[in-house]
Amino acid sequence: MPKLKTILVTGGAGYIGSHCVVDLLEAGHDVIAIDNFANAVGDEDGSPALRRAEEITGKTIVFYKADLLDKPQINDIFDKHKIDCVIHFAALKAVGESMQQPLLYYQNNLLGMLNLLEIMRAHDCYQMVFSSSCTVYGEPEFVPITENHPTGSITNVYGRTKYFIEEMLKDLSAADKKWNIIALRYFNPVGAHPSGLIGEDPTKEFTNLMPFMAQVALGKKPVLTVFGNDYNTPDGTGVRDYIHVMDLASGHVAALNLLAGNHIGLKVYNLGTGKGVSVKELVDIFESVTGTKIPLKYVDRRLGDITALWADASLAKEELGWSTRYSIEEMCTDFWRWQTMNPDGYPKKNKTTVIVNGKS
């Protein structure tokens, strides 16, 4: 099987996508990134996150402002480029919002994937790495969670879209043996690139723990809202498996390496550290490594949230040769570096050298 050289990254200007682009470029891949800026900062001139990814790597990214719901637009991109593999990040992703606007999530996440798969097939591109989620497991029956844990009893609409897409990919790969797909079930990505140049910069009102916590530490928000302190956990707060975003990025490069050398149909891997950390523990560690104080306000649990989950990622270590390198302290340190270097996030009006729509 030929080397997967040219990679299309959907949602490439987003938090996880932009960090993955850095690792892809450093691994020698050519990157074509698309984004509609539903979850990322940017405009018709391009993406500040991708411009900074170019600065980190010294390499060039081809970028298109594009939406997967616009099939002719995506088809045109495939016509212009010989794409070897797609890494599919693009999705609406807020658990709370998904419960309030389910039709929006089903339309965007499911129809976007259907469009993408049909266009890939029409262009003889059958290699994909799919950005899935640990939410497909629902309330865990056991921890740490292996890939064999039951899926489908999901507590929120966002997670159901990931589960439905996994089922779609399972049916597709069974029906047509040309497909070669890896679904990566992420646990909770946090942190930022160690340079401090790229990081998480939500475009909407957000409740993601680490960016909210950093905003409180900067004095931009008065208090950190913690959803629930009555869970059946040692300190009453929810427990999650927090993984450094650069460890997550390296998992995608490892997945590409497996796809390039093997025909596997559909394979699923957990990406996590294998260690559960409570919200309160994470706050305490963040305060310790940053020298800041985070006032807390406990409120009711959010609809769709679960008590505790963390990964068994031994299969990814065995078959992908992948394991995490960053500690929880480094996750906090790197995110604080990003936040203090960029207290207002990315510049909202972008001046970029990224090649946009195939033109510099």
Residues 94, 60 contacting (CB under 8 angstroms): no
H runs (alpha helix) in 176-278: 209-217, 245-261
Distance CA 311, CA 250 (A): 17
Beta carbons within 8 Å of 108's beta carbon, 6+ residues apart = 38, 69, 91, 92
Residues 32, 7 contacting (CB under 8 angstroms): yes
Residues 91, 109 contacting (CB under 8 angstroms): yes
Residues 8, 87 contacting (CB under 8 angstroms): yes
Distance CA 354, CA 54 (A): 8
The verdict on whether omega for the bond into residue 72 sits within 30 degrees of 0, i.e. cis, is: no
DSSP code string of 177-199: TT-EEEEEEE-EEE---TTSSS-
Radius of gyration for the chain, computed over Cα atoms and rounded to the nearest angstrom: 19
Distance CA 31, CA 25 (A): 7
Distance CA 254, CA 116 (A): 23
Distance CA 37, CA 96 (A): 19
The residues pairing with 7 across neighbouring beta strands, listed in sequence order, are: 31, 85
Distance CA 45, CA 64 (A): 9
CA atoms within 13 A on the CB side of 97: 13
Distance CA 224, CA 299 (A): 10
Of 158, 231, 242, 269, the catalytic one is: 158
What tokens does 39 get?
Answer: 């979850």
What tokens does 340 get?
Answer: 């203090």
- 158 carries an active-site annotation: yes
Catalogue the active-site residues. 158
